[in-house]
Structure 1
């Protein structure tokens, strides 16, 4: 499972090593290439990392269709030349960019927003390979939630390590996941893990549902299923389990409330 790589990522204090670890982790899931791109809400203050530097030689990163169309919700979108016909709003110039990206191994991809338009920054990940649409849907799409959670872990850690004008870099691990999850979490689905970790950190169900891009009702169903598998009945009990068996979550007191 990709989350096995999460502990290594959280222990990294060098952005280049973190990026390499993320690339290797995604490689085990059949992902050959990745782009991480974020911009300010006015498309300034660009930050981009990619496994294919040639990708933006003819079109600047700020004009990547991902930023233009994929960051209005947290929905994961099928992207790349293999799926371009599903998106009729794409302009001829954007289509040419997408088809050129296929020559570098981005024939089929998942576009995974981490932040939405309207925030101070927005953007996320594009991860893919050279497979056909049929093969991609057979091998990669069933792992979408696992891949999305993995990318969120990478995103949170990059946010900690990469300095920007408005804040310095920090070396402590982010508040998304514990340094090592208890064995009991192995039986949870990636979505159940994500939901329970956010609730255990003190986020409200409304906040967690917004981050996940699902309804509060659906989030509650995931939480109930996860709690049942863990043998607990509340976010506070899940937080206590993490504190006892995984070394704790930063910012979470034993009561499950945020520490001062």
Structure 2
């Protein structure tokens, strides 16, 4: 199997894991998004849902995450009903919608709307089938066309799935080492207002804080949630029930 830089990627992951750094989860995700983007896959969703705990990391825009939550799309998302039920990779995105004859009208609407946010084509990589220990997997997506993604998959899908598996293992390792941290009331307030579309200066005015203080609270929230970006912090906040859709 051609490695496509996977060996170097895994070596760097291991170095991060051995560092014992409190920001290790952030660094793992930053490295992961850069690696997959280099290979043409810039729309990532990583999900690890266990009893009593859920980790979700994504590169998708906050606008799509909010739209997804507003419409309660998790109830009908074919990623759960069709992709995570098998270890076999399943083609995802609007480019492949016609291949999936069992999709409902609502599911097709979801997929078409996702394409408006740049999610055109990709494939799933299931890590743990649904059961007593929850479910875990990736939607490894791209803004490229279906034909371009087909060519990439033919050349490097196995290598990318191997990388995705190791990222999953490393995230479990570093998150377990760091432990979950609760958000403070101020951190939660700032994140809620950010999810509602307010900018730093607006949040500062709403809460009677300085913009610098808001930046600090948002940075602390992001670090505690293991998010590489503010958008990812919002996504994790939604997934853990810390935030509610507007």
The 3 A distance-change label for structure 1 pair 65 and 54 is farther
Q: 2:103 aligns with which of 78, 90, 100?
A: 90
Q: Which has the higher contact order (CA 8 A, sep 6+)?
A: 2
Q: Distance in 2 between matches of 1:102 and 1:89?
A: 19
The 3-state SS of whatever aligns with 1:59 is helix
1:6 paired with 2:10, answer yes
Other-structure match for 1:51: 59
Conserved? CA contact 1:2–1:29, under 8 Å: no
SS in 2 for 1:88: coil
* Separation (CA, whole Å) in 2 of partners of 1:38 and 1:87: 25
Specify which of 123, 128, 153 is matched with residue 141 of structure 2. Answer: 128
How far apart are the structure 2 equivalents of 1:66 and 1:123?
A: 11
Q: Distance in 2 between matches of 1:149 and 1:103?
A: 29
- Count of matched residue positions in the alignment of Structure 1 and Structure 2: 163
Cα separation, 2, equivalents of 1:77 and 1:103: 21
TM-score (norm 2): 0.61
Q: Could you list the runs of 5+ residues in structure 1 that have no partner in the other structure?
A: 163-168, 172-260
Moved over 3 A (4+): 60-64
Structure 2, unaligned stretches of length 5 or more? Answer: 179-246
TM-score, length-scaled by structure 1: 0.58
How many angstroms does 1:156 deviate by? 0.5
Whether 1:76 aligns to 2:89 is yes
Task: Measure the CA separation in 1 of the matches of 2:109 and 2:50.
Answer: 25
Q: State whether structure 2 residue 43 is matched by structure 1 residue 39.
A: no
